[in-house]
Chains A and B, each alone.
Chain A
Amino acid sequence: MADKVVDARGLQCPMPVIKVAQGIGELISGQTLELIASDNGALSDIPAWSKDMGHSLKESFTTDGEHHFVIEKG
């Protein structure tokens, strides 16, 4: 279970990245955040953002058109 869940369903680019950045700002290193997004752009944007920001993408999967990303704060 993630320490924080951010729901960005229905939101389009750039909002999933903005929301995940805001959400991760509230965590400490080692804690995890789960992002749920419906924007298909998030499939490339979230891994790119995580890598660039030094966080690690632990898990990502899509169910019912919703993309889930579990990110551990670096």
Chain B
Amino acid sequence: MSTTSDAEAAVEAAAQSETPQKEKMVLIAASGDLDKAWPVLILATTGAAYGMDVTVFFTFWGLGILKRPDAGITGDDYRQKLMSLFKKGSPDGLQLSTMNFGGLGSKFMKDLADDKKVASVQELLELAIGMGIKLWPCQMTMDLMGLDRSQMIDGLDEPAGAGSAISLMKEASISLFI
């Protein structure tokens, strides 16, 4: 009988050693600029390729990365509506923080990336979702901007707050604010 329980214990130990606690990586995406969203998603997907448990927390203009292209004008308040009109967002609608030239610079950059086969923000976002990366929208900034879940892309996790982000960052070996 003891051999059976020994064998069982060995199997259990092996199962545990095969699923060690994954290292954690947390990225705070606070910018909706193309030149910030890109590195956020490149680092997130690469972290997942390193076997890490990756969470990206989207706040302020970073929420724009997650807006559906057809979200239109969002919010009830005239100030929210105006902001959403001037800051459209959406994975494929992001603009450069500099050299934008009314959108021409951003178009050049996206075309260049396409020519050179650099994965787009949209492709990286889909890849991130496929790799099991957790994408957390910030509840407070969603409320502030009048954004609701239906105006955001699919595949996101439940909205969360600063406390959840801190709890996670306390355990994470990599935490970056981008």
The binding surface of chain A is classed by DSSP as: helix
CB distance from A43 to the nearest CB of B (A): 16
* A12 adjacent to chain B (CB < 8 Å): yes
Q: Which residues of B contact A53 (CB under 8 A)?
A: 50-51
Please judge, given known A-B contacts A13-B42, A14-B42, whether A21 and B49 are in contact too, CB under 8 Å: yes
Pair A12/B118 contact, Cβ less than 8 Å: yes
Determine if A12 and B119 form an interchain contact, defined as CB atoms under 8 angstroms apart.
Answer: yes
A to B contact number (C-beta, < 8 Å): 34
Among B46, B51, B116, the one with the most A-chain Cβ atoms within 10 Å of its Cβ is: B46
Complex Cα gap A53–B52 (Å): 11
Q: How large is the interface on B (under 10, 10 to 19, 20 to 34, 35 or more residues)?
A: 10 to 19
B residues in contact with A22, CB < 8 Å: 49
A33 on interface, CB distance cutoff 8 Å: no
Q: In the assembled complex, which residues on chain A have CB atoms less than 8 Å from the CB atom of B46? A: 14, 17-18
A11–B117 touching, CB < 8 Å: yes
Judge whether A6 is part of the interface by a CB distance below 8 angstroms: no
B45 and A14 contact, CB distance less than 8 A: yes
Tell me if A10 and B49 are in contact (CB < 8 A): no
Q: Which of B115-166 contact A (CB under 8 A)?
A: 116-119, 127, 131
A residues with a Cβ closer than 8 A to B are 10-15, 17-18, 20-22, 49, 52-53
